[in-house]
Amino acid sequence: MNLSRREFLQALSIALLSSNCSTQRRFGDFDIEGLYSAQPFGNVRLLHFTDCHAQLLPVYYREPSNNLATGERHGRAVPLSGQVLLDYYRLKFGSPEAHAFTHLHFIELAEIYGKMGGFAHLATLIERLRGESGPGNTLLLDGGDSWQGSATALWTQGRDMVAACNLLGVDVMTGHWEFTYGSKRVLENLKQFNGEFAAQNIALTDAARFDSDDDTATVFNPYVIKTLQSARIAVIGQAFPYTPIANPRHFIPDWQFGIQEQNLQAVINQIKTRKAADVIVLLSHNGLDVDLKLASRIGGLDVILGGHTHDALPKPVLIDNPGGKTWVSNAGSHGKFLAVLDLAVGNGRLKSLNYRLLPVFANMLKPDPKMQKLIETIRNPYAEQLNKPLGIADRLLYRRDRFHGTFDQLILDALLDVLDADIALSPGFRWGNTLLPGQTITLEDVMNHTAITYPQTYVSSLLGREVKAILEDVADNLFNKDPYYRQGGDMVRVGGLRFDCNPIAEIGRRISGLKMLDGKSLEAEKNYKVAGWAGVDAPSPGKPVWEIVTEYLENKVKGER
pLDDT at 32: 55
Question: 354 in a domain, yes or no?
Answer: yes
542 and 423 fall within a common domain = yes
Q: What average pLDDT does this structure show over 403-409?
A: 96
Lowest mean pLDDT across 213-222, 495-504, 517-526: 213-222
Which residues touch 509 (CB under 8 Å, ≥6 apart)?
Answer: 502
- CATH (domain of 519): 3.90.780.10
Q: What average pLDDT does this structure show over 466-478?
A: 95
Q: Whole-angstrom Cα distance, residue 185 to residue 252?
A: 10
Which residues touch 555 (CB under 8 Å, ≥6 apart)?
Answer: 417, 418
Write a three-state SS string for 172-206. Answer: EECCCHHHHHCHHHHHHHHHHCCCEEECCCCEECH
- Please work out, in degrees rounded to the nearest 5, the angle formed at the alpha carbon of residue 471 by the alpha carbons of 467 and 477: 145
Which of 248, 3, 243, 197 lies closest to 105, judged by CA? 3
Residue 453 is given by DSSP the state S
Domain span holding position 175: 41-377
Q: Where are the beta strands (DSSP E) in 162-310?
A: 172-173, 196-197, 203-204, 223-227, 232-238, 255-256, 279-284, 303-306
Residue % of the chain over a pLDDT of 70: 91
327 and 440 fall within a common domain = no
271 and 347 fall within a common domain = yes
* Helix, strand, coil abundance in the chain, percent, nearest 5: 35, 25, 40
Checking if the pLDDT of 22 tops 50, the result is: no
b/e string for 422-438 if b means 16 or more Cβ within 10 A? bbbbbbbbbbbbbbbee
Question: 466 in a domain, yes or no?
Answer: yes
Residue % of the chain over a pLDDT of 90: 85
Q: Whole-angstrom Cα distance, residue 343 to residue 44?
A: 5
Q: What is the pLDDT confidence band of residue 29, given thresholds at 50, 70 and 90?
A: very low
Question: 1 in a domain, yes or no?
Answer: no
Instruction: Tell me the CA distances in angstroms from 212 to 182, 187, 199, 219, 535, one per residue in order.
Output: 19, 17, 20, 12, 31
97 and 145 fall within a common domain = yes
391 or 23: which leads in pLDDT: 391
- Please work out, in degrees rounded to the nearest 5, the angle formed at the alpha carbon of residue 12 by the alpha carbons of 114 and 108: 35
Q: Whole-angstrom Cα distance, residue 180 to residue 340?
A: 29
Checking if the pLDDT of 47 tops 60, the result is: yes
Question: 434 in a domain, yes or no?
Answer: yes
pLDDT at 66: 80
Q: What is the pLDDT confidence band of residue 73, given thresholds at 50, 70 and 90?
A: low
172 and 237 fall within a common domain = yes
Total structural domains within the chain: 2
Q: What is the pLDDT confidence band of residue 44, given thresholds at 50, 70 and 90?
A: very high
Q: What average pLDDT does this structure show over 270-292?
A: 97
Q: What is the pLDDT confidence band of residue 366, given thresholds at 50, 70 and 90?
A: very high
Which residues touch 104 (CB under 8 Å, ≥6 apart)?
Answer: 82, 83, 86, 98
Strands 303-306 and 279-284: parallel
362 and 392 fall within a common domain = no
207 and 313 fall within a common domain = yes
Question: 495 in a domain, yes or no?
Answer: yes
Lowest mean pLDDT across 12-26, 274-288, 462-476: 12-26
229 and 144 fall within a common domain = yes
List pLDDT tens digits, range 202-250.
999 999 988 776 667 899 999 999 999 999 999 999 999 999 999 999 9
Q: Whole-angstrom Cα distance, residue 447 to residue 307?
A: 22
Q: Whole-angstrom Cα distance, residue 247 to residue 414?
A: 23
Q: What is the pLDDT confidence band of residue 23, given thresholds at 50, 70 and 90?
A: very low
Question: 16 in a domain, yes or no?
Answer: no
327 and 229 fall within a common domain = yes
pLDDT at 28: 41
Q: Whole-angstrom Cα distance, residue 2 to residue 160?
A: 43
Q: What is the four-CA torsion angle of 482, 487, 488, 490, rounded to 10 degrees?
A: -100
pLDDT at 4: 65
Q: What is the four-CA torsion angle of 543, 544, 546, 550, rounded to 10 degrees?
A: -10
Note the residue count of the chain. 561
Report pTM. 0.94
Question: 382 in a domain, yes or no?
Answer: no
Instruction: Tell me the CA distances in angstroms from 518 to 169, 415, 515, one per residue in order.
Output: 55, 18, 8
Q: Whole-angstrom Cα distance, residue 100 to residue 61?
A: 9
How many other CB atoms are found less than 10 A from the CB of residue 301? Answer: 27
pLDDT at 20: 45
Looking at 343, 377, 411, the residue that finishes a domain is 377
420 and 556 fall within a common domain = yes
Q: What average pLDDT does this structure show over 410-435?
A: 97
Question: 555 in a domain, yes or no?
Answer: yes
Q: What average pLDDT does this structure show over 355-375?
A: 97
Q: Give the phi and the psi of residue 103 in degrees, each rounded to 5.
A: -90, -5
Looking at 340, 356, 377, the residue that finishes a domain is 377
Q: What average pLDDT does this structure show over 476-504?
A: 92
Lowest mean pLDDT across 48-62, 347-361, 537-551: 537-551
Q: What is the pLDDT confidence band of residue 144, given thresholds at 50, 70 and 90?
A: very high
pLDDT at 303: 98
Q: What is the pLDDT confidence band of residue 157, given thresholds at 50, 70 and 90?
A: very high
* Average pLDDT taken over every residue of the chain: 92
pLDDT at 35: 87
Q: What is the pLDDT confidence band of residue 88, given thresholds at 50, 70 and 90?
A: very high
Q: What is the pLDDT confidence band of residue 24, given thresholds at 50, 70 and 90?
A: very low
Looking at 327, 347, 377, the residue that finishes a domain is 377
372 and 450 fall within a common domain = no
Which of 517, 85, 167, 143 lies closest to 339, judged by CA? 143
List pLDDT tens digits, range 299-345.
999 999 999 999 999 999 999 998 999 999 999 999 999 999 999 99
417 and 485 fall within a common domain = yes
Task: Give the CB-side neighbour count of residue 160, counting CA atoms within 13 A.
Answer: 26
- CATH (domain of 133): 3.60.21.10
